[in-house]
A and B are shown apart, each in its own frame.
Chain A
Amino acid sequence: MAHIKLLNEELPGIVGLLNYRPETGKPLTDLAEILLRGPSSLSSGEREIIAASVSYWNGCHFCHTSHAAAAAAHLKSGLSLIDDIKAGLPQTPVSDKLRALLHIAHQVQRNGKNVTDEDIIEAHEFGATDIEIHDTVLIAAAFCMYNRYVDGLGTWAPGPNEAYAEMGERMAHVGYGKF
């Protein structure tokens, strides 16, 4: 049970929180929509992989599994992607550029100051643009927020990967704040 009395206790993870406080729910969903589904030279699948990886590193089961399911829906990879993200993506074709961006995201997840000049140079060498680096840092930072919000209020989350399949499809193809 969540640490506070939600309006609808059947809604899992962040969904119950967005519903509880729509004043803050609106900018939170607007941000996710722009970062993960807005116009970008990174595909939505790539951006959802960054979001899901950061959530896994933060130990947030709901955000990791739901965003990995959204990545799987974009990439039509099947739900095995959820566990592959935990393992560092050994079974998923990932460009060198995305690997370099994931490394930057991991540095941000620990603390913003951990990002080094070398990390940025490497990402540039693999073709990352300033906007892509910016968006990677902000996605990683934003999930350090969403994850703490979801876990800090003790929300409930479905266990098995399969329970997230439909949610992932809707996140990918309907969008944030639209369901």
Chain B
Amino acid sequence: MPHINLPKEYPGIRSLFMFRPETAAPLNHLVQTLLHNPHPSLSAGERELIATYVSGLNTCKYCCSIHGAIAQHQLGNNAELVKQVLDNPDTAPISSKLKTLLKIAAKVQSGGKNVTKADIDLARNEGATDIEIHDAVLTSAAFCMYNRYVDGLATWQPDDAALYDKMGEQRAREGYFTPPFKVTEQLVNNDR
């Protein structure tokens, strides 16, 4: 049960956005900018993989599942790739540059000061730009916030892969600004 009285029709961060629209606005704007809006060089799928990977490190089931589903839909419905990145980015079939950005993201997750010049040089040697390094750091930092927000208030985090897939498909297509659907309603409509 959530630690505070949240709307019951929405899981995870959606219930928090409904509870407090004033803070939802900048939180949504930030995730839309980092993950969905056009980026000079990183695809939406690559950026969603960073968000998914960091959420996995923080063991936030809701964020890891939903961003994993969004990443999957951004990457040609490739669920296997998302799984491989979560298991071990070093052996996953992704670019060497993205591997170095995920390494930086993991360092940030464990503490900002853990990022070393060697980590940055490694990313640069694989062709990472300053904007890409900046965005990898901020995306990882931002998910250290979103994950704590979602877990710290003990939001409802369903175990339902089909539900995350449906939410992920919508977000991959529409971005983060469209209203979320009510989950209970969907469950009824889908005759579950």
Contact = CB atoms under 8 A, between A and B. Distances in A.
Partners in one complex: yes
Interface of A: 3-5, 17, 20-21, 23-24, 26-28, 30-31, 34-35, 38, 58-60, 104, 107-109, 111-113, 115, 117, 120, 130-131, 133-135, 137-138, 140-142, 144-154
A34 B26 contact: yes
A151 B108 CA distance: 8
B77 interface: no
Contacts of B141: 144-149, 152
A108 B150 CA distance: 10
A138 B149 contact: yes
Contacts of B60: 112
B30 A28 contact: yes
Given A31-B30, A113-B151, A145-B144, A151 B3 contact: no
Nearest to A143: B145
Given A112-B153, A148-B109, 19 more contacts: A4-B134, A21-B138, A24-B34, A59-B111, A109-B148, A111-B151, A112-B149, A112-B151, A134-B19, A140-B152, A141-B148, A142-B145, A144-B144, A144-B145, A145-B142, A149-B138, A151-B111, A152-B112, A154-B115
11 contacts: A24-B30, A34-B23, A59-B113, A130-B5, A133-B4, A138-B20, A141-B149, A146-B141, A148-B109, A148-B137, A151-B112
Contacts of A120: 3-4
Contacts, number: 149
A3 B138 CA distance: 13
B152 A108 contact: yes
Interface string B144-182: 111111111110000000000000000000000000000
A145 B27 contact: no
A14 to B, nearest CB: 11
Nearest to B20: A134
Given A27-B29, A30-B26, A58-B111, A134 B148 contact: no
B86 interface: no
B22 interface: yes
Contacts of B137: 148-149, 152-153
